[in-house]
């Protein structure tokens, strides 16, 4: 099985460096990015598309599918991690948000801790575990997954790479170092023995010179 993970195109909030919820739409630039990405997938075999139902991911998947015309399954399991309500619409690098994210990071090992209404680390990990089991159950050999940076990195690091629970701090450090650009392609391959290979990470060749997308 080959799995092509794709982060959605630029959203309206990405363009302004704002924290977003599940309602934010693609920006005009994001739609253009998705159209360029769709052209690229004309030359990549795909049997099925699994997409986050969030509008920014859903629209990206639909734009791609206008070209490749495959079955799309929308799954909450690959949706973005839900953040505290206090972060939504706020500038991503503000002191307030940095403090909230620091608290979440410091308490990541406590499965019962919440700042407010967010999905904590333990809940997030369990959801992505379920997604990975679902992914492994598919019979299709070439799968396109359209989602979000956090869930893609969690799938690769904490599940494909580790195969078991790892210290949350390693995940956070991985997130900081391995950034995923809007419409970046990450391709993994599963062998018959269940072992996974990571062949490409955040491939943005289709964007050419225009690679300055919000993280």
Could you confirm whether 8 is annotated as catalytic?
Answer: yes
Beta bridge partners of 6: 146, 185
Cβ-based neighbours of 43, under 8 Å, separated by 6 or more: none
If one counts every other C-beta atom within 10 angstroms of the C-beta of residue 64, the result is: 28
Catalytic residue among 8, 114, 191, 206: 8
Could you confirm whether 148 is annotated as catalytic?
Answer: yes
Burial of 71 (0-12, 13-18, 19+ CB in 10 A): exposed
- Pick from 76, 18, 33, 53: nearest CA to 185: 33
Catalytic residue among 114, 148, 191, 206: 148
Residue with tokens 């302004």, as numbered in its chain: 16
Q: Which residues are catalytic?
A: 8, 148
């Amino acid at each position: 099985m080959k799995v092509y993970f794709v982060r959605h195109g630029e959203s309206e909030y990405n363009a302004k460096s704002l924290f977003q919820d599940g309602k934010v739409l693609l920006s005009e630039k994001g739609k253009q990015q998705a159209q360029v990405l769709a052209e690229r997938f004309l030359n990549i075999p795909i049997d099925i598309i699994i997409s986050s139902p969030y509008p920014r991911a859903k629209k990206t998947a639909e734009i791609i599918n206008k070209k490749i015309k495959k079955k799309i399954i929308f799954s909450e399991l690959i949706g973005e991690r839900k953040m505290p309500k206090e972060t939504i619409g706020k500038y991503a690098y503000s002191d307030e948000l940095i403090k909230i994210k620091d608290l979440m990071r410091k308490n990541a090992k406590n499965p019962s801790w919440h700042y407010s209404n967010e999905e904590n680390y333990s809940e997030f990990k369990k959801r992505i575990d379920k997604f990975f089991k679902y992914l492994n159950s598919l019979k299709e050999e070439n799968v396109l997954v359209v989602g979000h940076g956090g869930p893609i990195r969690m799938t690769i690091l904490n599940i494909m790479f580790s195969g078991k629970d790892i210290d949350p701090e390693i995940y956070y450090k991985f997130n900081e170092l391995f950034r995923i650009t809007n419409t970046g392609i990450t391709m993994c391959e599963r062998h018959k023995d269940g072992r996974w290979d990571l062949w490409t990470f955040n491939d943005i060749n289709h964007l050419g010179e225009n690679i300055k997308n919000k993280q």
